Amino acid sequence: MREERQKLLDEYAATSRTFADAVERLRCPNTEGEAFMNSLAEAGTAHRACERSRIKLDKDLAQR
């Protein structure tokens, strides 16, 4: 059980970092037009992955 929780925490931490990195790329002043749209799509995908990880972690914690 402890290993499963650690795995979920590690996954959540990794997806959170990926999301934060994607958002930081949006702030780059060199990002215009199509590059901005691609970065925005990447941030959306990263956000959904982060949210899925958080939901899994929440479910695991609720069961305990």
Kindly report the three-state secondary structure assignment for every residue of the chain: CHHHHHHHHHHHHHHHHHHHHHHHHHCCCCCCHHHHHHHHHHHHHHHHHHHHHHHHHHHHHHCC
pLDDT tens digits, one per residue of 1-14: 789 999 999 999 99
- The full set of domain ranges for the chain reads 2-62
pLDDT tens digits, one per residue of 27-42: 887 767 888 889 899 9
Q: Residue 17, Cβ neighbours under 10 Å: how many?
A: 12
